[in-house]
Structures are given as structure tokens and as C-alpha cells.
A and B are shown apart, each in its own frame.
Chain A
Amino acid sequence: MWIFNSAFGKIFKLIFFPFRGMNPWVGMILISFLTALLMLFVFRFSSNQEGIRRVKNKIKAHLLELRLFKDSLSLSFKAQRNIFRYNLKYISYSAKPLLVMIIPLILILIQLNLWFGYEPLVPGQETILKVELEEGRSPLDIDLALEPSAGFDIQTLPLRIEEESEIDWRLRAREKGVHDLTFIVNGQRLTKKVAVAQKPLSKISPMKVRRSFINELINPGESPLPRDLPIKTIRVKYPAKDMNLFGWNIPWLLGIPPWLIVYFVLSIILGFVFKGIFKVEI
């Protein structure tokens, strides 16, 4: 899985490379545009374009029928029934491209979350480093040490929470850069990357997870932790990234982060804008 994550992640690195120093909106518009193109492409080649065109015309015709024969109750009902029927058909024609899109889209979203979901730390900023152990494992019994790093001050002694099988530290970012936090667990060395004061558009991996398909799929930012260690995750708390539109911070909406709202809205708008050019029937 890590090989796939690494390769897939590199594509995004390549896409965003020229735009890292620019306002994240530039990268967002670009990736939304590419996503719109991808969606149009998938739609164009995986859907029954002729069928879609036909049912859309049918729906239009029955809508017209509804207006023309509004005085006739029986015709109106018939028209409504047909509109409903062709709508279902339209949905069935759209289902296939949507099914084709869903997996790549999830993979894209997981990658985008690394680029747009978090703000890097700034020098002087404090954060919590959290090591989550496997269930039932007491943090008092594990031989785990955090090595000092040039990029960070370790500000507290380890805080061990037995109930949560967790060990926490408070760190303060010291220097710019992507730093490795090094742990020694049962004599084995582990590292976790931490980003400090990166360019406006930077990839940030908040969590390093133990090797497993689902874990790695959802957290593709770093190589996984070995299975033989009692550590489930190592997490660094980063602030959430704001999407600022002319001074207005786009708010979270029902738990959906601002970047995701922007991404969906832009992708849909751009999809509609370019569907004529690429002659795609949506």
C-alpha cells in the first residue's frame, strides 16, 4: 500500500510543485479544474451519452406537456408520471460514471486533505504529540523515549493516560523545515515527520499509522509503522487550514472542512463550464 501511496502522492506533489509558494487558492482552482476534466472524461466515456441526451429531451418534453395541458388533470398526471420515470432512468445512466469516479475521487480527497486540511506549525507554536498504543496496553509498561530534536523543544514530561492507552508530549516548534521526531520503542527507532513554517501550499501528514490496508489508505502521508510494535498511531496536532475568500474565512459546514466545500463547488462549476467544450452530456 505504501508503494501505491508514495507513487500517488508524488503525482500531487508534481501537480502542486509550481504553486507551493502561491496562495493555496491557486492550487485549489487548478486541482478543481483537473478534477472537473477528469469527471467530464469519465462521464464522456463511461456513460450512455446518447441515452442521457434522450432522457433529458424526454423530461423537457413532458415538462412542456405539463404546462400546455395544465387544464387536463389526466394528462398532467401522466406527464408527471413520465417525468418521474425518465428521472429514474437519468439517474440510472449517471450511476455508472459515478461508480467509476467514486474510488479515484476518494483517493484524490484523501490526498487533498494532506495539502489543504492543515496549517503547518510556526516557530514558537506549541502542539501536542500523541502516541496511541494498541488497546489494553498500559503506557506505563512500554519502553518509549522521544529524542530531542533541533526543530522542536520537548516542553513536558510524557503524560501517560492509561484509560486511553496514550502517551502525550507538548512540543514547541523551533525552526523552519520538515523535521523528524525520533522515538525509541523497545530498542527500535521510529520517526514521524513534522512540518514547521512551510510554503503556503505544503503537504502535511498529521498521522503515522500502523501497517494495515485501511489505515494506510486513509493516512497516506507517511510510511507505516511496523506491525510488531505496540504503537497504533503517532499523531501531531496541526491547526486546521482556513480558506480565506477576500477576508472571509469560509466556515465549516456540518463538519465538512472549508477546503472540501470549496473543492466540490469549484469542481462542479468548472465541470458545467467545460462540458460544452468537451461535448459531454451530463
Chain B
Amino acid sequence: MNHIDRREFIKLGLAAGSILALGSSDLTIKAFGKRETPQKVLVLGLDGIDPHLLQVWMREGKLPYFQMLARQGDFIPLITSIPPQSPVAWSNFITGTNPGGHGIFDFIHRDPERYFPEFSASETTEAKKTVRIGKLVLPLSGGNVKNMRKGRAFWQILEDYDIPATVFKIPANYPPVATKQRTISGMGTPDILGSYGIFNYYTTETKELKEDIGGGRIHPVNVIANKVEARIPGPVNTYKKDRPESSIEFKVFIDPVNPVAKISIQDHEFILKEGEWSSWKRIHFRMIPTQSVSGICMFYLKQARPNFKLYVSPININPGQAALPISTPKRYAEELEKRFGPFFTKGLPADTKALDNDVLDDGEFLEQDNLVLRERLNIFDYELARFSSGLLFYYVSSTDQRQHMFWRLIDKEHPSYDPGLAKKYGNTIENIYKEMDKLLAKAMEKVDKDTVLIVMSDHGFSPFRRSFNLNTWLKESGYHTLINPWKQGREDLFLNTNWSRTKAYSFGLNSLYINQKGREAEGIVKPGAEKEALVREIAHELEDFRDPKTGERPVLRAYIAKDVYQGPYVEEAPDIIVGYNHGYRTSWAAPLGRIPKEIVEDNTEKWSGDHCMAPEVIPGILLTNRKIKVKSPALYDLTPTILQIFGIEIPKEIIGKPIF
């Protein structure tokens, strides 16, 4: 997963639509309960585990269970998707196809009619029929939230054959597709604002008062008589004509001397010491007397004095009273909530935006991610203990999030490398690999001779040292023209683009589109030979380009969609998929149509490791307790492998081949 979508999308207010119009959607209620299967499959999906790092630490004896599993069965790099973005990669695994078969090509797609970015994974629409009574707007029908991934998920196929499956937090499954299997959505699940996660930060420190930061809202507050009064913004109230933002007021009482504060919000009252996290708090945004939206959040008292600093996590959907569909059956999330209390439901739970914006420091971010990890491990123990038939898929996100944020502390060549921090947090990535080794230990204890254990990641990781402004390169190469060249770099969404003289543009993290006549609103390139020639020319030139600072090629490979994709949705694909080289990635500006002046820049952000490169650069991992017979397995090969284990005929849409 990548952070450009959240950063920019949230800022642009393009997040998914109102949560309120949806009501609660019960996709399926019938109880899970199927036949006993002689064979079982346990899949651990460890996002972003890198084969190179894994090998190094296995060799050093730091990961004994990974080593043991590799000895018992096999360990091989796993070919990832083109591009290796998480929604694309996991969709390959879920459907056994490539993007041509499931229609997810990037985190961000675009509407060619408007040259406007769209979330690729899900679409939310509000209630179509409403009735207005005075200032109230009452919906007469439910809204809708739609999973945009095409193709059948492997657990849906298992269901056809009465084989039980529990699929925990697999990415690219929001809202969860209709099934009677136990599933809970992972990456792609929004917070209750319908965004990918917006934190709130309350501070008296004036230097921190730049309110316009992606992924968070900074609230200036005053401490008056040792008390702070503030509000937590909630979802837009679609029950009211002018759609005001809902909110919840809260008070913080600070001791005049001691570094402690009491927070009073709705029916909660709790005391925090400085540097302490609260437990989950259930809060309710009242819309109209009979309707409210329930969410959960955590508070972190960063500082009581001299400056007051309070962080409130993005408000997650309350799994006990989910306002949006996050599980199948609906009561699965409720069951987990009842057993474990509230838990992170937002797709990517750790708040990387807060770390990026210095609202949380490295240690604080790690504490938060440790909370995520602890929750995951607790639920894992529970699911593992009751796993007795069929398939269990279990996903961990902390591996990915920590590599994104802490790569700068293991890479001395990274522009954000800090020796002091490296000394303190340089082992963060190694530690999360060790945590996964412990997780694997539990799984290996559980597996018997009839259980196939698969440990996989969707991609590996690479340093992200230099940012490539793809749209700037297009402009400098004569494929993209601006209306006012002097305004370059100031506007997003191609507001300064002269479309009548533009041949190509890029939206998303790896996607490049030709401004094609008849497809784009103001397309100028004729489909057919003219377009084909242009695509090949751009691909060739991209691969030839060299970074003036390092002399390296930022683009390792430019893939032409129709050469690498198969399936019914190839026509919807970007024309070129840009595969970046080791150390390079698209810039923070390019994915949403901004055109800075420099083609390549240093990446000075804390988000310093990435995987939106060429797939050759960052394969994932595949470890199993069986011998793998295929030389170079790919993500989409795992799907037919699972079906084959259960003796199911492989549907013809699946392009992968079984690996055993």
C-alpha cells in the first residue's frame, strides 16, 4: 500500500461518500458451518515481507521457524503483480488472475471524461430517493457501497463446494464480497468519515498550527483554567438539508502541576498520563434523535504542559455496531468485538500520516502499531485454535507499515537517514520479522500432516530514495503541455494542462495514459497505429531516461498493458505501467496530476521504503511445508493451488497454475 492516495485524496476531499446514507448493510446472515475437509490450508499473508531481508536474517539464525519451514518444505521468491501495489497484488491472489481479469490496476484510477482521479477499490453512493421535511432529509432507500474488484474470490469458490473458510482482513476486499464464509475486510476499509483515516490533533503549540495536512486535522486550542474544550469532527450529517459536519464535544482537565489529564467525552471519563494511550472509546455521532453513527477511537496525551498536545486516532468503524459493511456475516465482526472488545477496523490501522507530519514521533508510532499487532495476535490465537477444517487466511499489516516508515533507518544512503534515530529504531524492521517468526511458530505447532501451510507476502520492499515526477518527465519530453508554464507545480488535477496539445498523462502510482481520441474527453491521439507507436515510443524513452544526479535509470521497465494483461478488463487498463528501479518511485505530487519543476527529487519523507517499483525489484515470499514444483510461482498461482488442494476443478478464468 502506498500513502499518496491517502495523503492527497483526503486533502482533495475525494474520499468515499457519506457513511450515513448507507445504513447498515447485512450482506449475509446465515451461519457458517460446513463439511469437514480431510485437507486443510492455513495461509499467513504477511504484507511486504521481503525475500532478501528474510534470507539474511534466516541465515543469521534470527528467524528459526522460517528456517525450519524452509527446510521442511520450500522457500522461493514469489512473483508479484504488475504493478506491485497491494490492491493489485492481493486481487491477483484473491482471483487467480492479473489486473486484466479483476480490473484493479492501481490504487487510483481515473475518469477519462473528467480527467479526474477515482479510488479503484470501492465506490460509495448515497441514497437515491430522499424526502425532505423542513430541514430534515430522510432517505427512502439505502445507499450502496460496492467492491470494484471483478472476478470471484477463492473463498466464494470454496463455498460452492461447501468448504469452510475464514478470511481475516485480506486487502482489496472492502466491502466484503457476498459470501456465507467468515470474512472481515482489511486494507481499503475506511474510517467513519469514509476516508482512509483522518486523525485529530489538538495543540496549543503555535508552530504546529498548519491545519492543512494530509490525513489529519490540527485543531488550535487554548488552555483556560487548566481546561481544554474541543470537538471531534464526525461524518457529514446527510439527514440535514445543509449537510453540516457532525461533531462531539469533549473536555480535558489538566492538573496544574502533575503531567496528567482527565478526558471527558460522552459517557467516558478517563485519566491519561503524559505519553500514554487510552483504550478504545466508543463514541456516537448523533444525527437526528433516532439515528447516530458509532465509531471507536483512541486518545494519546502527548504532552500536558507546557504545551498541550492531544492526538485522537482516526475514528474507526465500531465493529460491534458497524455503520458500513465490514464483515460477512455481519455478526462475525460483532462476535470478535464481543470477545476482544473494539479493534482496529480501518484498512491500514497504524497512522503513518501522523508520523509523517511529526504529530507522532517514531516511538509513539511504534507504540500504536504495537497495539495493532497485539490485537492481531490475540485474534490470530483465537482463530487458529478453532481452525479445524477448510481454509484459514490470516493477514498482518504491521510488516508493511513498519518497512514503509523505518526503511530510512536501515538505509544509510537514504536522504532521511538519521544515525541517532537509526541507533534507537534501526532494528524495528528486524523486530517485526522476529514477531512474524513467533506467529509462524504458533501456526507450525497447529499444522498436522493434512494441513498445507503457506506463508506468503504480496511483494517485497525496496528503498525509496528518489522520487520521479512522471508528469514532469512527460512535459519535458514534449508529451504534455501546460496552459501557463509559469504556473507549473502549483496546481493539482492537471488544472494547468492544455489537453488539446497533450499526448499523455499519469494518474496513480504506476499508471500512464495516452490522451486518446474517443476515450478521453479531449483526446488527441488516434487509437490504432498512432497510439501503438506512441505507447512504444514513450515506453522506450522512459526506460532510457537517466537520473541526472545518480546516472541511474529511474524506470527499469515500462510495461505495455496489452502485452502483460489478459482478461476481459484489459481495455480499462492504463496504457503503460511504469516499473521503477531500485531506490526510485513515483513522486508524492505526480499521482494526482501535479507537475513540479524537477523530474527527479530526493524523497525526504519518513515514508522511505516502498514497493511500487518494477515487480522484478521486489518479489514477495513463498514458504510452504510442501515442495514447490513450479520454478517461478506468481501470486495468481496460489489461488488454483488452494482449489487443487481441496480437489476443486479450476475455473477457466483463472490464469495461474498450481504450484504443487
The interface of chain A, by Cβ under 8 A from chain B, is 126, 128, 140, 155-164, 168-170, 237
For chain B residues 249-271, which have a beta carbon within 8 Å of chain A? 253, 255-256, 258-262, 269-271
Identify B255's interface contact among A128, A159, A164, CB under 8 A: A159
Residue pair A161, B262 in contact (C-beta under 8 Å): yes
Does chain A have a CB within 8 A of B273? yes
Which residue on chain B has the smallest CB distance to residue A140? Answer: B256
Residues of B within 8 A of A163 (CB): 225-227, 253
Complex Cα distance, B269 from A170, in Å, reads: 11
21 A-B pairs with C-beta separation under 8 A: A126-B270, A128-B270, A155-B271, A156-B260, A156-B273, A157-B258, A158-B258, A159-B255, A159-B258, A159-B271, A160-B255, A160-B256, A161-B226, A161-B227, A162-B225, A162-B226, A163-B225, A163-B226, A169-B271, A170-B270, A170-B271
Residue of B with least CB distance to A170: B271
Identify which of A140, A159, A237 gathers the most chain B CB atoms within 10 Å of its CB. A159
List residues of chain A with CB within 8 A of the CB of B256. 140, 160, 162
Given A140-B256, A158-B255: A168 in contact with B225 (beta carbons within 8 A): no
Within 8 Å CB of B273, what residues of A?
155-157
Q: Once bound together, how far apart are the Cα atoms of A156 and B278, in whole Å?
A: 13
- CB-CB under 8 A from A164, the residues of chain B are 253
User: A162-B225, A168-B262 given as contacts; is B269 within 8 A of A157 (CB)?
Assistant: no
- CB neighbours (8 Å) of B227 from chain A are 161, 163
Residues of A within 8 A of B260 (CB): 156-159
Q: Which residue of B lies closest to A129 (CB)?
A: B271
Nearest-CB distance from A160 to chain B (Å)? 5
Interface bracket on B: 10 to 19
- Among B253, B258, B261: residue with most chain A CB under 10 A: B253
Residue of A nearest to B226 (CB): A162
Choice from A126, A140, A155, A159 contacting B262 with Cβ under 8 Å? A159
In the assembly, what is the distance between CA of A126 and CA of B279, in Å? 10
Alpha-carbon gap, A170 to B255, bound state (A): 13
Q: How far is the CB of A93 from chain B (nearest CB, A)?
A: 39
Question: Is B269 in contact with A159, judged by CB distance below 8 angstroms?
Answer: no
Considering the chains assembled together, what is the distance between the CA atoms of A225 and B251 in angstroms?
30
Q: Tell me, in angstroms, the Cα distance from A237 to B270 when the chains sit together.
A: 10
Which of A140, A157, A161, A169 contacts B253 (CB under 8 A)?
A161
CA distance A126 to B272 in the complex (A): 11
Measured between alpha carbons, how far is A155 from B256 in the docked complex, in Å? 18
Q: A277–B167 Cα gap in the complex (Å)?
A: 59
- B residues less than 8 Å from A156 (CB atoms): 258, 260, 271, 273
Question: Contact: B226 with A128, CB < 8 Å?
Answer: no
Other than the given A158-B258, A159-B271, A160-B256, 4 more pairs (CB < 8 A) read A155-B271, A159-B260, A160-B255, A163-B226
Proximity bits, B416-450, A CB within 8 Å = 1, else 0: 00000000000000000000000000000000000
Closest-by-CB residue of A relative to B259 is A157
Chain B residues whose CB sits within 8 angstroms of the CB of A140 once the complex forms: 256
Taking CB as reference atom, which chain A residue is nearest B258? A157
Chain B contact surface mostly: strand
Residue of B nearest to A138 (CB): B256
B494 to chain A, nearest CB (A): 52
Shortest beta-carbon distance, B301 to chain A, in Å? 11
Chain A residues positioned under 8 Å from B271 (CB to CB): 128, 155-156, 159, 168-170
Closest residue of chain A to B304, judged by CB?
A159
Chain B residue at minimum C-beta to C-beta distance from A130: B269
Complex: chain A residue closest to B227, CB-CB: A163
Interchain residue pairs A-B with the least CB separation, the first 7: A157-B258, A170-B271, A161-B253, A159-B255, A159-B260, A156-B260, A156-B271
Determine the distance from Cα of A199 to Cα of B198 in the docked complex, in whole angstroms. 43
Of A156, A162, A163, A168, which is in contact with the most chain B CB atoms at under 10 Å from its CB? A156
Give the residues in chain A near B255, CB-CB below 8 Å: 157-161
* Residues of chain B lying within 8 A (CB to CB) of residue A159: 253, 255, 258, 260-262, 271
* A169→B270 CA distance, assembly (Å): 10
- Closest chain B CB from A138 CB (angstroms): 10
| Shortest CB distance A250–B (Å) | 16
Chain A residues within 8 Å of B270, by CB: 126, 128, 170
Nearest CB on B from A181, distance (A)? 16
- The minimal Cβ–Cβ distance linking A136 to chain B, given in whole angstroms, is 15
**Cα separation A169 to B260 with both chains bound (whole Å):** 10
A128, B271: Cα distance in complex, Å:
7
Q: How far is the CB of B334 from chain A (nearest CB, A)?
A: 11
Give, as a whole number of angstroms, the nearest-CB distance from B232 to chain A.
21
A128 to B262, CA, bound (A): 10
* Chain A neighbourhood of B225, CB < 8 A: 162-163
For A169, list chain B residues within 8 Å (CB): 271
Bound together, the chains give a CA A199 to CA B441 distance in angstroms of: 38
Shortest CB distance A251–B (Å): 12
CA gap between A169 and B225 in the complex, in Å: 20
Check if B226 sits within 8 Å of A237, measured CB to CB.
Answer: no
Question: What are the interface flags for B583-601 relative to A under an 8 Å C-beta threshold, 1 for contact and 0 otherwise?
Answer: 0000000000000000000
Give the chain B neighbours of A126 by CB distance below 8 A. 270
Chain A residues near B258: list those with CB within 8 A. 156-160
A157 to chain B: which residues have CB within 8 Å? Answer: 255, 258-260, 273
Q: A155 CB to closest chain B CB, in angstroms?
A: 8
A161–B251 alpha-carbon span in the complex (Å): 12
Which residues of chain A come closer than 8 Å to B262, judged between CB atoms? 128, 159, 161, 168
- Shortest Cβ distance from A158 into B: residue: B258
Chain A hits for B269, CB < 8 A: 128, 237
Q: For residues 216 through 250 of chain B, which have their beta carbon under 8 Å from a beta carbon of chain A?
A: 225-227
A140 to B227, CA, bound (A): 16
- Complex Cα–Cα for A247 and B351 (A): 36
Determine the distance from Cα of A168 to Cα of B260 in the docked complex, in whole angstroms.
10
Chain B residues with Cβ below 8 Å from A170 are: 270-271
A140 to B270, CA, bound (A): 21
A51 to B269, CA, bound (A): 54
A160's nearest neighbour on chain B, judged by CB, is B255
How many Å lie between the Cα of A14 and that of B246 in the bound state?
A: 51
| Complex Cα spacing A128 to B259, Å | 16
Shortest beta-carbon distance from A225 to chain B in Å: 22
A99–chain B nearest beta-carbon distance, Å: 36
Chain B contacts of A158 at CB under 8 A? Answer: 255, 258, 260
Q: Quote the shortest CB–CB distance from B225 to chain A (angstroms).
A: 6
Chain A nearest Cβ from B355, distance in angstroms: 27
B228, chain A: closest CB distance, angstroms: 12
In Å, the complex CA distance between A156 and B273 comes to 7
On chain B, the residues within 8 Å of A128 by CB distance are: 262, 269-271
CA distance A126 to B423 in the complex (A): 35
A3 to B271 CA separation, bound complex (whole angstroms) = 36
Tell me how far the C-beta of B420 lies from the nearest C-beta in chain A, rounded to whole angstroms.
Answer: 31
Give the Cβ gap from A264 to chain B, nearest Cβ, in Å.
23
Residue of B nearest to A237 (CB): B269
- How many angstroms between the C-alpha atoms of A169 and B272 in the bound complex? 10
Residues of B within 8 Å of A237, CB to CB, are 269
The residue on B at minimum CB distance from A157 is: B258
A168 to B261, CA, bound (A): 10
- Please report the C-alpha to C-alpha distance between residue A104 and residue B503 in the assembled complex, in whole angstroms: 88
Q: In whole angstroms, how far apart are the Cα atoms of A170 and B271 in the complex? A: 6
- State A157–B260 Cα separation when bound (angstroms): 7
Residues of B within 8 A of A155 (CB): 271, 273
Shortest C-beta distance, A131 to chain B (Å), equals: 13
Distance (whole angstroms) from the CB of B260 to the closest CB of chain A? 5
| Complex: A160 Cα to B271 Cα, angstroms | 11
A161 surroundings in chain B (CB, below 8 A): 226-227, 253, 255, 262
Complex Cα distance A230/B226, Å? Answer: 22
Smallest Cβ distance from B226 to chain A, in angstroms? Answer: 7
Which of B258, B259, B260, B271 has the largest number of chain A CB atoms within 10 A?
B271
Task: Provide the residues of chain A in CB contact with B226, threshold 8 Å.
Answer: 161-163
How near does chain A come to B264, taking the closest CB pair, in angstroms?
A: 10
Q: How far is the CA of A128 from the CA of B278 in the complex (A)?
A: 13
Whole-angstrom distance between the Cβ of A161 and the nearest chain B Cβ? 5
Whole-angstrom distance between the Cβ of A12 and the nearest chain B Cβ: 28
Contacts of A160 in B (CB 8 A): 255-256, 258
